[in-house]
């Protein structure tokens, strides 16, 4: 028995991790991608950024959703001392990001937007993550082997670097993977 309402669920995300988490929740969904320019106003602060981007990703579907559709869009950033880290563009940037996260606590913030034909609801989740001191060889090995160019903050908590490097996490583990699944479940029930 599925506890969730009987929507036609649509996930607008290429992320294999978000798709895996939704499947594990027991949701039957389709994946529909619409490319959007993911730039945001510089005036936005912390959680405002991923919420803005999640809402932006829902815009191309405006007017296209049917009565029973429920669109799920999401975005995740890494926030360290006022600096935003999205997905690294190359190895040099991935190294720089991981060097900054090394021996520091950062926040992983996901914004999620639920959109139907009639309404929209957005929310966010914040998890605090602390890395040990990462050596140059550990950083290089991880980037070479796992190529984390599709991950905010240049790492996946569920990968090797998470196993050897994360000493503390406060908040949702799944949020750090890119989708605060428990909170999403609750929000769908209340939608």
Residue 38 predicted with pLDDT over 90: no
* pLDDT tens profile 82-128: 999 989 999 999 999 999 999 999 999 999 999 999 999 999 999 99
Q: What is the mean pLDDT of residues 27-46?
A: 92
- Listed in sequence order, the residues at least 6 apart from 45 whose beta carbon sits closer than 8 Å to its beta carbon are none
**64-79 mean pLDDT:** 96
1, pLDDT greater than 60: no
Q: Enter the tokens of residue 4.
A: 């969730």
List for the chain the helix, strand, coil content (%; round to 5).
Answer: 35, 25, 40
pLDDT bin (cut points 50, 70, 90) of residue 2 is low
What mean pLDDT value characterizes the chain? 95
Number of H helices, E strands in the chain: 7, 7
Strands, E assignment, 36-143: 69-80, 83-85, 105-115, 120-131
Q: Residue 17's pLDDT is what?
A: 93
Look at residues 5, 15, 13, 2 and name the one whose alpha carbon lies nearest to residue 156: 15
Question: Which domains are delineated in the chain?
Answer: 8-190 (3.90.950.10)
Q: What band does 34 get if pLDDT is binned at 50, 70 and 90?
A: confident
Is 144 designated active site? Answer: no
Do residues 55 and 61 lie in contact, with contact meaning Cβ atoms separated by under 8 Å?
no
Confidence (pTM): 0.94
Per-residue tokens: 127: 């998890």
pLDDT at 130 over 60: yes
Q: Kindly state the average pLDDT of the residues 52-61.
A: 97
pLDDT at residue number 7: 95
pLDDT of residue 4: 86
The pLDDT assigned to 35 comes to: 85
Residues 75, 90, 103, 150: which is the catalytic one? 75
Question: Distance (Å, rounded) from C-alpha 17 to C-alpha 2?
Answer: 21
């Amino acid at each position: 028995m599925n506890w969730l309402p009987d929507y036609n669920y649509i996930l607008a995300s290429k992320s294999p991790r978000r798709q895996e988490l939704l499947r594990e929740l027991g949701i039957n969904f389709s994946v529909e991608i619409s490319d959007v320019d993911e730039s945001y106003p510089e005036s936005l602060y912390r959680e405002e950024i991923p919420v803005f981007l999640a809402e932006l990703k829902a815009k191309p579907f405006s007017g296209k959703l049917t009565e029973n559709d429920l669109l799920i869009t999401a975005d995740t950033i890494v926030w360290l001392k006022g600096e935003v880290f999205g997905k690294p563009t190359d190895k040099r940037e991935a190294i720089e990001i991981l060097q900054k996260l090394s021996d520091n606590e950062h926040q992983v913030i996901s914004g999620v937007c639920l959109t139907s034909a009639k309404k929209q609801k957005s929310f966010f989740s914040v998890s605090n993550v602390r890395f040990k001191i990462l050596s140059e060889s550990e950083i290089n090995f991880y980037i070479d082997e796992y190529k984390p160019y599709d991950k905010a903050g240049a790492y996946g908590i569920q990968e090797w670097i998470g196993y050897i490097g994360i000493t503390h996490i406060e908040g949702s583990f799944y949020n750090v993977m890119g989708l605060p699944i428990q909170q999403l479940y609750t929000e769908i029930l209340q939608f």
